[in-house]
Amino acid sequence: MKGLQTFSTGNSLRRIKIHRNWRVLDIGSGHNPHPRADVLLDKDVVPSPERGGLPCLRDSRPFVLGDAQHLPFKDKSFDLVLACQVAEHVEDPVLFCRELVRVAHRGYIECPGALTELVLGEPFHLWLVSRKGGGLAFKRKTRGNSKASDLFYALFYAGQPRARRTFTPKGPFGPLVRALSLLVRKFWRMPGVRRFTYTSFEFQGEFHVRVVG
């Protein structure tokens, strides 16, 4: 299709195609809104643990305070909706997915995958989200974090404000910690690896949603 452009999207940096004429809604992007989004929506603007203690970024684009489970838009108001690192937080996954389908013709959903939730899971994540039979499956999280998980988390997010403890790269070993952190984050997003570390789902029209637990 002429007019399609490619953009890196979400924490996985997965490249998706967006038409230059599409109207795009970005939900819950917080401090890192998608460059192609026409309208931004978030539940608040103040610093939040879910955004690593950072405030929600507001720029010249229309910004709407709203609930992703009750979107304040008419049916099919957008050509594309982006919802990255949001679905794992919502209280009602079925209602959330239904709202995305209602307001947009197509969309992209991204969540932490099983491996990421195991070693980088946040205390405010409610669901493990996976692809299932052409749709999404939501399994309620019950496990806490292990000491090995805490160590990996501290290295992965070294020097960044997060909800859990991270390493502060100071002193003679600071450059080594920063270099290792960067290397791990790059590895986590490699095309051959990210299918295990992230759940990426593109949809057009309705899709099946299964909730377990």
Domain that holds residue 40: 4-143+191-212
* Residue labelled with tokens 């600071």: 174
Residue 109 token pair: 């959903």
Evaluate whether residue 107 is within a structural domain: yes
Evaluate whether residue 12 is within a structural domain: yes
Give just the sign of the alpha carbon dihedral 60, 66, 67, 70. negative
Evaluate whether residue 153 is within a structural domain: no
How many domains would you assign to the chain? 1
Evaluate whether residue 152 is within a structural domain: no
Evaluate whether residue 28 is within a structural domain: yes
**46 pLDDT tier (thresholds 50, 70, 90):** confident
Distance CA 68, CA 73 (A): 11
Digit-coded pLDDT (tens) for 22-35: 999 999 988 889 99
Say which DSSP state 62 is in: -
Quote the percentage of the chain above a pLDDT of 90.
Answer: 79
Digit-coded pLDDT (tens) for 53-76: 677 777 889 999 999 999 999 999
**84 pLDDT tier (thresholds 50, 70, 90):** very high
Of 1-10, 33-42, 47-56, 62-71, the range with the lowest mean pLDDT is: 47-56
pLDDT given at position 47: 75
Which of the two residues, 32 and 178, has the higher pLDDT score? 178
Evaluate whether residue 155 is within a structural domain: no
pLDDT given at position 161: 86
pLDDT given at position 50: 72
Which of the two residues, 21 and 46, has the higher pLDDT score? 21
Distance CA 91, CA 145 (A): 21
pLDDT given at position 131: 96
Evaluate whether residue 160 is within a structural domain: no
Evaluate whether residue 139 is within a structural domain: yes
Give me the CATH number covering residue 61.
3.40.50
